[in-house]
Amino acid sequence: MKNNDVEQVDKEQLIPNQEIENKKSDFDNNTSQNPNETHQQEDTEKKEEKRFLSNKKFKKFDKARYREQKCREWEIKIVNQNMKDDKLGLYIHIPFCDRKCDYCDFVSYSMDENAQHDFQQALFKEIDMYRTQCEKMVFNSIYIGGGTPSVMYEGFIYELARKVYSTFHFEGDIEFTIEVNPNSVTYDKLLEYLRAGVNRVSVGVQCIDSKILKNVGRFQTIENIDNTFDLLKKMGFINTSADVMIGLPNQSLDAVKDTINYLIDKNVKHISVYTLQLEENTPLYKNVKMGKIKPLGDEACIKMYNTVTKMLKENGFIRYEVSNFAIPTYESRHNFKYWKDVDYLGLGVSAHSFLENYRFSNTCRLDEYIDMLNNGQFPIVNKEFIRDSERRTEYIMLSLRLATGLNLEKFRKRFKEDLLKTRAKQIHDLIKNGYLYIEDGFLKIAPQHFYVSNRIILELL
């Protein structure tokens, strides 16, 4: 049987026989119609449409206004849902990469299988040490980041998932995310992730122009990226995310557009857009200081960001946070915990945690991490109690990064402060100059100024 024969059988199974006959009859009637009659009918329809549109009582459908309304409805729904989230998030940092990009200052080490196994044993000890402390806590998200989790040896993620599920208590619809690099994704690894329960994959794309990436020490090709998304689609991963960078040296606006169009065509559900930051002690920083590489200016970066925002909005994405865009219902539930003042536990080298008003972080050194855990010690090197004054500052900063803004009434109840009074002059000036506005009890940054949100937020602290 030929492929098209199979397709026909499937269709006939889905559609009742009578409906098939009706469709065939309609098709026969349409194809047997006199061509002159068809043209006359089309002319009549066009005249009727013109007459209808000329009616003064008819209001033309405003697509832009409708889209704005729907965006606002979704933004409110997203935040309201996540405000009620009282379950913890679990973050696990994998400190290995096949190689480090020139712009990266994240904690990562070169790929070494012995070091990976030593890390795995230490990580499992850390998980065991939190068993008692977290026995009454409930989790509903797992995020494995790095580094590059996909460089780990086959079987690691599955073993880790089994260990986590047997140690901590999970409830409800669990979001399980893993970050991957196109250079290290394979069919067998994705199959392993499926078996482990991963249901969300974040791909480090950055840019689809390999020449631009090569300038910053990142070596991947469009073939690698294509292969990754093709594998994800074939294996049934629907909830996919991609990281995109703007402001890269020699990156044009067209190159940014090409990357966004590519991801839209690949049916990616979530896109994070980050501007290149020059971090000290990185090769890129040194090259810029020596004049070998010229970074793009703020004006070019702002234009790129605003262009991306417009393109994604026109294709059904909601910007729910300064750097994050998603098709509705595909927002990162785990990351919302960071923005909505929900506790989370971080495991692994350099991981951060926020539990019961304490913020603490693990050592950044792999050898120290392994040694401390082998000696029965938590690998924590910094721990501080977060006072209400600090929580207040963080609440303002994180809330205003969200498209829905800061809930003034909730802020007043939480911190016993009326922000409209204590920061009356600053808010008045920012509203007057078009940077802020108040809508339905929420203080918001005007969408056209999201790119400079940090400068606006500083005025209110």
**DSSP string covering 11-31:** HHHHS-HHHHHHHHHHHHHHH
pTM given for the model = 0.80
Q: What is the pLDDT of residue 71?
A: 57
Asked whether the CA dihedral 418, 421, 427, 432 is positive or negative, the reply is positive
Any idea where the domains of the chain sit in the sequence? 72-339, 400-461
pLDDT value for 20: 32
Q: Which two tokens mark 88?
A: 């913890």
| 3-state secondary structure at position 167 | helix
pLDDT at 347: 98
CB 426 within 8 A of CB 458: no
* pLDDT on residue 25: 41
* Residue with tokens 């009637």, as numbered in its chain: 29
The terminus-to-terminus CA distance of the chain in angstroms comes to 70
**Joined tokens for residue 37:** 């009659």
Radius of gyration of the chain, Cα coordinates, nearest whole angstrom: 26
Give Cα 212 to chain centroid, integer Å.
23
Report the C-alpha gap between 412 and 228 in whole angstroms: 47
SS3 62: coil
Counting as low any pLDDT under 70, the low residues of the chain are: 1-85, 100-111
E-assigned strand segments in 235-339: 240-246, 270-275, 318-321, 324-326
Say if residue 26 is exposed, middle or buried (CB neighbours under 10 Å; 0-12, 13-18, 19+): exposed
Report which of 248, 250, 277, 302 is spatially closest to residue 447, judged by C-alpha positions.
302
Tell how far CA 260 is from the center of its chain. 14
Measured between alpha carbons, how far is 120 from 348 in angstroms, rounded to an integer?
A: 9
Dihedrals φ, ψ of 66, to 5°?
-65, -45
The confidence score (pLDDT) of residue 292 equals 78
CB count within 10 Å of CB 189 equals 23
Contact predicate 176/198, CB 8 Å:
yes
Token pair listed for 122: 């230490």
HEC profile of 103-130? CCCCCCEECCHHHHHHHHHHHHHHHHHC
Residue among 82, 77, 81, 75 at smallest CA distance from 405: 75
How far apart (Å, rounded) are the C-alpha atoms in residues 459 and 24? 67
Residue type, 425: K
Distance CA 383, CA 91 (A): 17
pLDDT of residue 218: 83
Q: Which of 232, 245, 141 is nearest to 187 (CA)?
A: 232
Residue 62 is predicted with a pLDDT of 52
Q: Give the number of other Cβ atoms within 10 Å of residue 420's Cβ.
A: 14
CATH class of 72-339: alpha beta
